[in-house]
Amino acid sequence: MKRVIPMIAGAIALSFSVAAQAQAPITIKFSHVVAEATPKGQGALKFKEAAERLLPGKVQVQVFPSSSLFGDAKELEALLLGDVQLIAPSLSKFDRYTKKVQLFDLPFLFDDLDAVDRFQQGPEGKSLLDSMQKRGLQGLAYWHNGMKQLSTNRDKLERPEDVKGLKFRIQASDVLEAQFRALGANPQKMAFAEVYQALQTGVVDGQENTWSNIYSQKFHEVQKTIANTNHGVIDYMVVTNAKWWNGLPEDIRSGLQKALDEATAHANKLAEELNERDRKLIAEAGRAKIQTLTKEDIAEWRKAMEPVWKKFERDIGQDLIQAALESNNK
């Protein structure tokens, strides 16, 4: 009898601690590098709201905007180490993990964001979400930001010759590096959080980004001209640690996927609206001039950037490039 009582007490204590564990919400950290008033910033907040609503008491989501937890250089490593559970890097930032996603950086590949969307929702786009599983990364969704514009600290920004010899901040992407080299400019890979200061102090002369990133980071206050080149896209892949994701209880995983679907719809619906709003706010602020380009100007930029395609098409694959091009014609 004496031995039985401690055993029962032990079993009760154990079942209490299992119950307590089962009840403790899973903490999910979502880290990103942009401001909250951007499509990605809004998407992350929507995800938190939806996940905590759909899985009450089961998950707690903490969102860290503006590189406040991890910046560009660290966020993918932190995800693989389990220090953060969700991130949404721009598609330009995966080239150490797969060459295929470099597709999105080919200049003038997509006519507009609708074409990007059609490609992402098609079979080839979807397959890229699974293309980094071997490296421990699981893609869960694409989120839009928008088309990229080019800016410099010079008055004239109409044709490719206007950027010859200038220094440009780029995201960590070999395709973008080749793009600026093709223009005769000097690209410099740099984390997003460092760009404003680099522009302000003249470490670099220019950069490329969406209207929402330019406005929320105040780049227009330290640049003279922004040309509406629309020469490429900045979109995101929401990624998680594959092992962590696959180890989640089924109900949690499917609840999180539902929350992500809501967040994706929300962010993607807002993307064009926020970029358009920020383009107008930049124009109203009157700091940087917005340079409208003619069809002929655009044709010159396209021609100057064309050599980039040859350099990367083998790594990316003709099948993907073809599918992306076809998404322009629907």
Q: Does 327 bind ligand LMR (CB under 6 A)?
A: no
CB burial class (10 A; 0-12, 13-18, 19+) of residue 17?
exposed
Cβ proximity to ligand LMR, 189 vs 302, nearer residue: 189
Position among 31, 131, 145, 223 found at the interface with ligand LMR (CB under 6 A): 145
Q: Does 216 bind ligand LMR (CB under 6 A)?
A: no
Cβ proximity to ligand LMR, 145 vs 153, nearer residue: 145
Position among 28, 34, 76, 198 found at the interface with ligand LMR (CB under 6 A): 34
Q: Does 42 bind ligand LMR (CB under 6 A)?
A: no
Min separation Cβ 246 and ligand LMR, Å: 26
SS (H, E, C) the chain: CCCHHHHHHHHHHHHHHHHHHHHCCEEEEEECCCCCCCHHHHHHHHHHHHHHHHCCCCEEEEEECCCCCCCHHHHHHHHHHCCCCEECCEHHHHCCCCCHHHHHHCCCCCCCHHHHHHHHHCHHHHHHHCCCHHHCEEEEEEEEEEECEEEECCCCCCCHHHHCCCEEEECCCHHHHHHHHHCCCEEEECCHHHHHHHHHHCCCCEEEECHHHHHHCCHHHCCCEEECCCCCEEEEEEEEEHHHHHCCCHHHHHHHHHHHHHHHHHHHHHHHHHHHHHHHHHHHHCCCEEECCCHHHHHHHHHHHCHHHHHHHHHHCHHHHHHHHHHHHC
CB burial class (10 A; 0-12, 13-18, 19+) of residue 322?
exposed
Position among 31, 151, 171, 268 found at the interface with ligand LMR (CB under 6 A): 171
Q: Does 173 bind ligand LMR (CB under 6 A)?
A: no
Please give the residue whose beta carbon sits closest to ligand LMR in the complex. Answer: 90
Cβ proximity to ligand LMR, 59 vs 84, nearer residue: 84
Q: Does 175 bind ligand LMR (CB under 6 A)?
A: no
d(CA 301, CA 321): 20
Q: Does 274 bind ligand LMR (CB under 6 A)?
A: no
Q: Does 67 bind ligand LMR (CB under 6 A)?
A: no
Cβ proximity to ligand LMR, 138 vs 207, nearer residue: 207
Position among 120, 209, 216, 230 found at the interface with ligand LMR (CB under 6 A): 209
Q: Does 182 bind ligand LMR (CB under 6 A)?
A: no
Cβ proximity to ligand LMR, 31 vs 209, nearer residue: 209
Q: Does 192 bind ligand LMR (CB under 6 A)?
A: yes
Min separation Cβ 115 and ligand LMR, Å: 19
Cβ proximity to ligand LMR, 65 vs 125, nearer residue: 65
Position among 131, 213, 241, 264 found at the interface with ligand LMR (CB under 6 A): 213
Q: Does 44 bind ligand LMR (CB under 6 A)?
A: no
Which residues here bind ligand LMR, judged by CB under 6 A?
A: 33-34, 90, 145, 171, 192, 209, 213, 234
